[in-house]
Chains A and B, each alone.
Chain A
Amino acid sequence: MSEPTTDRTEAEASAEPDFLKVSGLHAGYGQARVLQGLDFSVARGEVCAILGPNGAGKTTTLRALSGMVRGRGSVTLNGTELLGRSPEQAARLGVAHVPEGRGTFNDLTVEENLRIGAHLRTGPRWRGRPERAAVAADLERIYDYFPKLRQRSRQAAGSLSGGEQQMLAIGRALMLRPSLLLLDEPSLGLAPLVTRELFEIVRAVNEEERTTVVVVEQNAQLALDIAHRAHVLEAGRLVLSGPAQQIREDGQVAEVYLGVSVRSRKAG
Chain B
Amino acid sequence: MSAVTDLLQQVVEGLGSGAVYASLALALVLIHRFTGIVNFAQGELAMLSTYVAWQLVASGMPFWLALPVTLAVSFAGGMLVERIVIRPVQGAPELTVVIVTVGLFIFVNALAGLIWSFTVKDFPQPFPDGGLDLAGVRVDWSTLGIIGVVAVVMGVLYLLFQHTSIGLVMRAVACNPASARLSGIWVGRVLMLGWGLAATVGAVSGVLVAPVLFLEPNMMGGVLIYAFAAATLGGFDSPVGAVVGGLFVGVAETLTGAYVGVIGADLKVGVPLVIILAVLLVRPQGLFGRAAVERA
Contacts and interface: CB of A to CB of B under 8 A. Distances in A.
Nearest to A125: B165
Contacts of B176: 103-106
B197 to A, nearest CB: 16
Contacts of B182: 66, 68, 87, 91, 96-97, 99, 103
Given A108-B168, A112-B168, A115-B168, A120 B175 contact: no
Interface in A62-114: 66, 68, 86-88, 91-92, 96-97, 99, 103-108, 112
B178 A103 contact: yes
A129 to B, nearest CB: 9
A44 interface: no
A116 B178 contact: no
Interface residues of A, number: 27
A182 to B, nearest CB: 9
A119 interface: yes
B142 to A, nearest CB: 37
Given A88-B181, A99-B182, A103-B182, A124 B166 contact: yes
A80 to B, nearest CB: 15
A105 B179 contact: yes
A163 to B, nearest CB: 18
B289 to A, nearest CB: 13
Contacts of A87: 181-182
Interface string B157-183: 000000011101101101110111111
Contacts of A125: 164-165
Interface string A221-259: 000000000000000000000000000000000000000
A117 interface: yes
Contacts of A66: 182
| Highest count of chain B CB atoms <10 Å: which of A87, A112, A116, A172 | A116
A119 B168 CA distance: 10
A88 B171 CA distance: 17
Given A105-B172, A122-B165, A125-B165, A116 B181 contact: no
A68 B174 CA distance: 19
A112 B164 CA distance: 11
B185 to A, nearest CB: 6
Contacts of A112: 168, 171-172
Given A104-B179, A124-B166, A125-B165, A119 B184 contact: yes
A158 to B, nearest CB: 9
A176 interface: yes
Given A112-B168, A124-B166, A125-B165, A119 B179 contact: no
25 contacts: A66-B182, A88-B181, A88-B184, A88-B185, A88-B186, A91-B183, A91-B184, A99-B178, A103-B179, A104-B176, A104-B179, A106-B176, A108-B168, A108-B171, A108-B172, A112-B168, A112-B172, A115-B165, A115-B168, A116-B168, A116-B183, A116-B185, A120-B183, A125-B164, A176-B184
Given A88-B184, A112-B172, 16 more contacts: A68-B178, A86-B181, A87-B181, A87-B182, A91-B182, A103-B178, A105-B171, A105-B180, A107-B171, A108-B168, A108-B175, A115-B168, A116-B169, A116-B183, A119-B169, A125-B165
- Which 4 pairs, one residue from A and one from B, show the smallest C-beta to C-beta distance? A91-B184, A103-B179, A120-B184, A87-B181
